Amino acid sequence: MWTVHCQNLVFIACVFLPCLVRGIPDYSGLPPGSYCVSRYPASRCCPGRQDECSAPILTTLCYCDDFCDREREEDCCPDYWQHCRGIVPNVTSPPEELRRCFFQGREYNHGQTLRVNCNTCKCSSLGKRAEVLCEENRCLIEQELMDEVSLQGPTLGWQVGNYSEFWGRTLREGVELRLGTLNPSQSMYKMNPVRRIYDPDALPREFDSRTRWPRDISDIHDQGWCGASWAVSTADVASDRFAIMSKGAEDVQLSAQHLLSCNNRGQQGCRGGYLDRAWLFMRKFGLVDKECYPWTGKNDQCRLHKRSNLKLAGCRKPPNSLRQELYKVGPAYRLGNETDIMQEILTSGPVQATMRVYQDFFIYKNGVYRHSRSAELHDSGYHSVRIIGWGEEPSYRGPPLKYWLVANSWGHDWGENGLFRIQRGANECEIESYVLAVWAKTI
C-alpha cells in the first residue's frame, strides 16, 4: 500500500503541483468535487490504515483513512481535512491580474496618473479592462482651436501662437487670472460721453503715441497670473498722461501694486476690479511711483496710509522737486465713438479701453484681430487695455482694414512684442463701448 499511495501522490503532484503549507496540502488546483463526503457522508472516515477507504480521483485513488496523513508524504483526498478532520485548508487565492493601460503610444500601470495639457488622467479599471480616464476641463491652449483658427487665417486676418506659459492651464484659470476687469458698472455706462469740437476728416489715417511722445509712453508690463488688468491699465494710462501733460517734467511710472493692495473697497484684487472705483481711488488718494511700491502681483496688505505724501510713504525724490503729494487725477470721462477716441489720443495720449476676451485671443500672435465665432461657445471675460494709436492695413477684398494699436499687459513675448492690433470701427469685442480718459493733475 505504501508504494501505491506514493505513486498516486506523485502522479497528482506532477499534474497539479499542489502547495503544502506545514502539513496541510492546498488542493485548490485539483478538480472540485465530493470525495470523502460521497463515500462517508456522516463525517465518519476510516481509522488507522484501510486501503479500501478511498475515492476515485482523475485516473487513480485518494484516501480517507487516518494513514493518508503522514509527515513526509500524503495521498489524502482534497476534502479529507475539512470533512474528516473539520479543518478548512489554507487556500491561496490566485494573484490579481496586473492591468496596464496603453495611451498615446505609452504604457501605464494600473493607478498611475499622468498630465495631459490641463487635465489629470489616471489608468483605471473599467469593467474587465483598464483604460486611461481624464478630466474634461477646457484648456487655455487647445490644439483643435489653433488648427481651426489657422485654417480661417486668411478670413480672420491674424495668425496664432502657441505660448508655453499658457500650456497646462485651464480656460477658467485664464479668464480669472490673466484678465481681471469686472463687468463695467451701470453707472459708468450711463455716463454721458464728453463732446469735443474737432474736424473728424482732419484726423490722420495712422497714429502711434510712441512716435509722437517717444520718451513718455509706458513700456509693456506683465501682470502674471493675477487678474489685475484693472490696476495695471489704470496705472499705465495715468503714467502716460502725467508725462505728456507735464511735457516730460513728471515722467513717472505709477504703481499698479499700490492700487492692487490698497484699493480694496468693493474690489477683488487678483480676482478682478472695477475701473470707476480705481479712478476714484486715484482721484481721492493718489498713487506713488512703481519704485516706491514695486509690483508683486499678489493681494498683499496695504502698507501705506491713504492720507499720505511721498515723503511719509518713504519714496525717493520725484522728477519734479516741487511735488510733495501723491499723483492724483481729475474725474474719469467717457469717450463715445471711434473718432472721439482718436481725437483724444491725438491730443492727450493713450486711453483705457475694456474689451471682452474670448479664448482665441490668448493664442493671438500677429495681424489684425477679430474673434472667431466658435470662440463664443466657451468662457470669456473682460480685460482692460491701453489704446495707444491706430492705423490701416491693405485688404485684398475691399477697402483698407482699420485697426486700433493696443498695449496689452502679458509681457513682450505675447503678440506683437506685447502689443496687438484689433479691428477698428466695428466695436470688435466691445472695445469701443467703454473707453475712458483722465486729466493728470500735474505740478
pLDDT tens, the chain, 443 aa long:
444 444 443 333 434 434 444 445 555 456 657 888 888 877 678 888 888 888 888 778 888 888 887 754 567 888 887 888 877 766 666 666 668 999 999 999 999 999 999 999 999 988 888 999 999 999 999 999 999 999 998 889 999 999 999 999 999 999 999 999 998 766 667 777 888 899 999 999 999 999 999 999 999 999 999 999 999 999 999 999 999 999 999 999 999 999 999 999 999 999 999 999 999 999 999 999 999 999 999 999 999 988 889 999 999 999 898 999 999 999 999 999 999 999 999 999 999 999 999 999 999 999 999 999 999 999 999 999 999 999 999 987 789 999 999 999 999 999 999 999 999 999 999 999 999 999 999 99
Three-state SS letters, the chain: CHHHHHHHHHHHHHHHCCEEECCEEECCCCCCCCCHHHHCCCCCCECCCCCCCEEEECCEEEECEHHHECCCCECECCCHHHHHCCCCCCCCCCCCCCCEEEECCEEEECCCEEEECCEEEEEEEECCEEEEEECCCCECCCHHHHHHHHHCHHHHCEEECCCHHHCCCEHHHHHHHCCCECCCCHHHHCCCCCCCCCCHHHCCCCEEHHHHCCCCCCCCCECCCCECHHHHHHHHHHHHHHHHHCCCCCCCCECHHHHHHHCCCCCCCCECECHHHHHHHHHHCCECECCCCCCCCCCCCCCCCCCCECCCCCCCCCCCCCCCECECECCCEEECCHHHHHHHHHHHCCEEEEEEECHHHHHEEEEEECCCHHHHHCCCEEEEEEEEEEEEECCCCCCCEEEEEEECCECCCCCECCEEEEECCCCHHHCCCCEEECCECCC
Q: For position 71, what pLDDT does the model report?
A: 57
Q: Please give the domain boundaries of the chain with CATH numbers for all domains.
A: 35-85 (no CATH), 100-134 (no CATH), 143-440 (3.90.70.10)
pLDDT at residue 13 in the model: 40
- Rounded to two decimals, the pTM is 0.78
Q: What is the pLDDT of residue 154?
A: 84
Q: What's the pLDDT score for residue 12?
A: 39
- What confidence score (pLDDT) does residue 153 get? 84
